[in-house]
Amino acid sequence: MPANKPELPAATISDLGHADSIITISPQAVVANWRYLASLSSPTTETAAVVKADGYGLGASQLAPHLADAGCRTFFVMSLDEAITLRGALRDSGHDSCAVLILGGCHPGQEDEMLAHDITPVINTREQLERLGKMARQRGAKIAAALHVDTGMSRLGLDEKEAAWLAIQVAEGNALVDGLSPRWLMSHLSAAEDDCDPANEAQLQAFTALRAAFPDIASSLANSGGTLRGPAFHFDMTRPGIALYGLHPAGIGASRQQAEQAGHLMPAIRWDARILQIRDAKAGEAVGYNGTHVLKRDSRVAIIGVGYADGYMRALGNRAAVVIAGHEAPVIGRVSMDSITVDATDIPAARLQTADTATVLGDGYHLARMADDAGTIGYEILTQLGHRPRRLYLPT
Amino acid sequence: MPANKPELPAATISDLGHADSIITISPQAVVANWRYLASLSSPTTETAAVVKADGYGLGASQLAPHLADAGCRTFFVMSLDEAITLRGALRDSGHDSCAVLILGGCHPGQEDEMLAHDITPVINTREQLERLGKMARQRGAKIAAALHVDTGMSRLGLDEKEAAWLAIQVAEGNALVDGLSPRWLMSHLSAAEDDCDPANEAQLQAFTALRAAFPDIASSLANSGGTLRGPAFHFDMTRPGIALYGLHPAGIGASRQQAEQAGHLMPAIRWDARILQIRDAKAGEAVGYNGTHVLKRDSRVAIIGVGYADGYMRALGNRAAVVIAGHEAPVIGRVSMDSITVDATDIPAARLQTADTATVLGDGYHLARMADDAGTIGYEILTQLGHRPRRLYLPT
């Protein structure tokens, strides 16, 4: 990553208030990342934003209006709950014309509320297609929809056979689909971050073939990985998610070219926590639950106010590090529910004495590294951030 | 576990509303567990309740009033934020006389709010002791406090030397501690769930010795594991946490005696999720991100509306199971952010066709098993439950 990439400012102890940790979020970084991703595709390709799971944990209602200000017109969430909340935030910020799509589809009984809030379903099954088509005909109105076809995830979406059947209905102007106004044909990549996975080419071919059967509908295949993979994957709309939040989907395993791309993504988050206590401990003493770390030397141990209940994953015990006064300090012992213990022995005493917070994520210890240390992906770290840490949105 | 242990009722599809999953919580089970834990110690031993991390993810403000109704007088949380929220819930339910203690201690600048909300600090450091003592003397008031001494965690609390120094101050009626009214002497067990860890006996001895130096203060050592370990660990107050929520701290590794105890703990939670789609897939097709599962036979795959953003840990991919219409179905492929894929091939078609939800936790797939499948402890599963699932509290 470029050395001059701007870091988010450290939170001060007074920012913490009554909480023991604080997550600082930069809407400006998210907007910059959206602009970078948009710059990768041609001007005729729309760049949507995936803000499901509460904007990957960073706040859909707080971030989407900024993206809409920047020109984003189409937002994806998972459930009707998320869609209604987002619709409210867009309306309140004067962006009611933006489209909100629910990836999970419209489930029986949700139709009225979905339409009342001007939410567009992503149709994943023939049942959804028929139910919504019938409803539209009964009302004499057109229901806008996206058609989602599975091309290799075996997850949500119509299968190949259903898609072929649907193409015929659309071509023949069958009454079944008469009430629906299909705006997008979509599919989802299963391994877009992996340069070596042949699934990318296979899915691209399958989607290209499919698309030919729906010549009048805009098409969309690319998640963040697809957007970063190049023009062949862009079609009419890209749908980046994780990269908006500053993480390259390849994480710490990025190739050289991916690392170059990652250099253009701005970190959108940092996480600082209160130093609850600093203690001296003797060689041979055990640290934390079940004594999984035994001190090899007389040590200074700092106890930091984040634990797994805050979303600081338990898998980070004895693996991660924090940064105190510019010095890295390794996490020793298990992660507790509300705190972690770090070895602060090598931090100059004068620096340690005046420190009141530790950076547990960000500046010096980045998301890709945390995910690797936890044996997972940054997506899980972000979406699992707890509600106990205070959240601070930087002004734009 | 006893075969007749009552399960929480399954949520219906209409309970889900606009959400894709629902967490059902039984305050009655939490109260029953508190009563069981209280029954293990003598009537002169108080049984407190640890409701930090929002009641281990199940809702401190919803559960604490029920515990107070049942006779619980003392509650522990971690931070001032949590304490103020809990104080409000106790006040609103007519339980303002209950004590609320903050385990993290009182940090500089928090004193006024702490006292204004009648919150009792757990004093972990000499600095906290001196600061609060000075404040009390300035105000001419007594500040109630608990004194926390570390006996083998190397985490929060005074160390042995500081404790010895403090004992002298208390014995001599030193002005330093004059303003403080120490009500409890506390320590915390590091491996209470482990029958074989010598730390239990070592901590018990260290605490017993300490206690002798503070003869006029009530003492407390036992978390859930200590409470279940037997009378030697109970002293004047037990402080169960995890067991209140229905999980024996030994989890799936429980000894025979621990399993018998676990049989007395009522499950407090179940989690049901929407079946988003059921699809047929062919042998050889890959499932989920990066195709980590390849179907060995023509299969029926059900897509369920929980993912890691809901707190369904990513580590459960290719390991866990769900229950659909009374049949267990293994999770195949990776856990996605918003969904999981399960192999539903062996579920009779007629049963599957009418099923609209899957049980992802509870009835047939219990917390201890989920924690084991995820390679973690049930504490992390509970406290990491996301905010996207709907929450339903059963009437008491």
ipTM for the complex?
0.97
Asked if residue A133 and residue A111 are part of one domain, the reply reads yes
What pLDDT does residue B170 have? 81
B interface test, pick of A15, A18, A297 with most B CB neighbours within 10 Å? A18
Over the Cα atoms of chain A, what is R_g?
24
Does residue A20 lie in a domain region? no
- Per the CB < 8 Å rule, is B19 touching A288? no
Amino acid at A198: P
Q: With 0-12 CB in 10 A as exposed, 13-18 as middle and 19+ as buried, what is A281?
A: buried
| Tokens found for residue A386 | 């707890």
Instruction: Decide which of A262, A290, A305 is a domain's last residue.
Output: A262
Same domain? A319 vs A243: no
If we measure between CA atoms, which residue out of B383, B310, B325, B334 comes closest to residue B356? Answer: B325
Inside any domain, residue B208: yes
Is residue A21 in a domain?
Answer: no
Query: A61 and A89 share a domain?
Result: yes
The interface residues of chain A toward chain B in range 88-147, judged by CB-CB distance below 8 A, are 103-105, 107, 109-110, 113, 124-125
Task: Please indicate whether residue B282 is annotated as part of the active site.
Answer: no
Mark whether A222 and A136 lie in a shared domain: yes
How far is Cα of residue B341 from the mean position of the Cα atoms in its chain? 28
Using alpha carbons, list the distances in angstroms from residue A228 to A256, B53, B337: 13, 39, 20
Q: Does one domain contain both B274 and B389?
A: yes
Residue owning tokens 């500040």: B143
Predicted confidence band of residue B2 (pLDDT cuts 50, 70, 90): very low
What pTM was estimated for this model as a whole? 0.97
A317 at B interface, C-beta within 8 A: no
Regarding whether B157 and B47 lie in a shared domain, the answer is: yes
User: B36, B52, B245, B379: which is the annotated catalytic residue?
Assistant: B52
Report the Cα A147 to chain-centroid distance in Å: 23
Nearest by CB to residue A337, choosing from B53, B279, B309, is B53
Which residue type, as a one-letter code, is found at position A159?
A: D
B60 & B203 share domain? yes
Could you give the percent of chain B with pLDDT greater than 70? Answer: 98
CATH of residue A258's domain is 3.20.20.10
For residues B336 and B356, what is the distance between their CA atoms, to the nearest angstrom?
A: 20
On chain A, the residues whose CB falls within 8 A of the CB of B56 are 309, 337
pLDDT at A1: 44
Please say if the pLDDT value at position B59 is more than 50: yes
CA distance B377 to B14: 32
| A1 within a domain of the structure (yes/no) | no
Share of chain A above pLDDT 90, in %: 92
Chain mean position to CA B7: 19
d(CA B317, CA B327): 19
Taking a contact as any Cβ pair under 8 Å apart, which residues of chain A between 155 and 214 contact chain B? 155-156, 159, 190-191, 194, 197, 199
Query: What is the number of domains present in chain A?
Result: 2
pLDDT score for A372: 98
Determine what percent of chain B is predicted with pLDDT higher than 90. Answer: 91
DSSP string spanning B285-354? -EESGGG-EE-SSSEEEEEES--GGGT--GGGTTT-EEEETTEEEEB-S---SS-EEEE-TTS-HHHHHH
* Range with the poorest average pLDDT among A165-174, A218-227, B57-66: A165-174
> What is the reported pLDDT for B246?
97
Q: Which pLDDT value is given to residue B3? A: 46
Q: How many helices (H) and strands (E) does chain A have?
A: 14, 19
- B84 touching A (Cβ < 8 Å): yes
Task: Give B1's pLDDT tier (boundaries 50, 70, 90).
Answer: very low
Question: How many angstroms separate the CA of residue B336 from the nearest CA in chain A?
Answer: 9
Tell me the nearest-neighbour CA distance from B128 into chain A, angstroms.
10
Q: Which residues of A touch B13 (CB under 8 A)?
A: 109
Q: Do B380 and A314 touch (CB under 8 A)?
A: yes
The answer to whether A306 and A260 have CB atoms below 8 angstroms apart is no
The partner residue sitting opposite A279, judged by closest CB among B154, B194, B390, is: B154
Task: Test A154 with B301 for CB contact under 8 angstroms.
Answer: yes
Contact A276 B18 (CB under 8 A): no
Q: Indicate whether A312 and A207 sit together in one domain.
A: no
> Domain for residue A8, yes or no?
no
Under a CB-based contact definition with an 8 Å cutoff, are residues A268 and A58 in contact?
A: yes
Tell me the residue ranges of DSSP E strands in chain B.
Answer: 21-25, 46-47, 49-50, 74-77, 99-102, 119-123, 143-148, 180-186, 218-220, 237-238, 269-281, 286-287, 293-294, 299-304, 321-324, 327-330, 340-343, 357-361, 390-393
Which of the listed residues B256, B277, B311 is the one where a domain comes to its end? B256
Structure tokens at B247: 């999980």
Same domain, A153 and A101: yes
Neighboring chain A residues of B153 at a CB cutoff of 8 Å: 287-289
Alpha-carbon gap, residue B21 to B388, rounded angstroms: 8
Tell me the angle at which helices B160-172 and B199-212 cross, rounded to the nearest 10 degrees. 20
Residue B2 lies inside a defined structural domain of this protein: no
One domain for residues A246 and A364: no
Determine the residue of chain A that is closest to B200 in CA distance: A290
Q: Which residues pair with B158 in a beta bridge?
A: B149
Average pLDDT score over residue span B351-370:
96
- Residues of B with Cβ-Cβ distance to A307 under 8 angstroms: 53
**Chain A contacts of B311, Cβ < 8 Å?**
384
Dist. CA A66–CA A191, nearest whole Å: 29
Return the residue in B338, B340, B345, B385 with the most chain A beta carbons within 10 A, the one to mutate for interface testing: B338
Instruction: Tell me the pLDDT band of A178, cut-offs 50, 70 and 90.
Output: confident
**Average pLDDT for B334-346:** 98
Asked whether the predicted pLDDT for residue A157 surpasses 50, the reply is yes
DSSP class of residue A301 equals: E
Q: How far apart are the C-alpha atoms of B82 and A18, rounded to whole Å?
A: 8
Tell if the CB–CB gap between A388 and B54 is shorter than 8 Å. Answer: yes
CATH of the domain at B373: 2.40.37.10
Taking CB atoms and an 8 Å limit, are B154 and A295 in contact across chains?
yes
Q: Is residue A3 over pLDDT 80? A: no
Kindly state whether residue B140 falls inside one of the protein's structural domains.
Answer: yes
Residues A94 and A144 occupy one common structural domain = yes
Which residues 6+ apart lie within 8 Å of B200 measured at CB? B189, B191, B192, B194, B229, B233
- Round the average pLDDT of chain A to a whole number and report it: 95
**Res A39 pLDDT > 70:** yes
DSSP states of B239-274: ---GGGGT--TTGGG--HHHHHHHTTSPP-EEEEEE
**Residue B384 to residue A308, Cβ atoms within 8 A:** yes
Q: Does A261 touch chain B (CB under 8 A)?
A: no
Contact list, B109 vs chain A (CB under 8 Å)? 13-14
| A257/A174 same-domain check | yes
pLDDT number for residue A4: 60
Task: Tell me the average pLDDT across A166-186.
Answer: 85
Range of the domain at B204: 27-256
d(CA B129, CA B121): 10
Structure-model confidence comparison of residues A169 and B156, the more confident one: B156
pLDDT in tens, A291-315: 999 999 999 999 999 999 999 999 9
On the question of pLDDT at B4 being above 90, the answer is no
**What is the mean pLDDT of the segment spanning B346-350?**
97
Element of type H or E holding A272: strand A269-281
Q: Is it the case that residue A56 has pLDDT exceeding 90?
A: yes
Domain stop point among B231, B256, B281: B256
Say whether residue A274 is in contact with chain B using an 8 A CB cutoff: yes
pLDDT over 90 (residue A261): yes
Q: With an 8 Å Cβ cutoff, are B287 and A315 in contact?
A: no
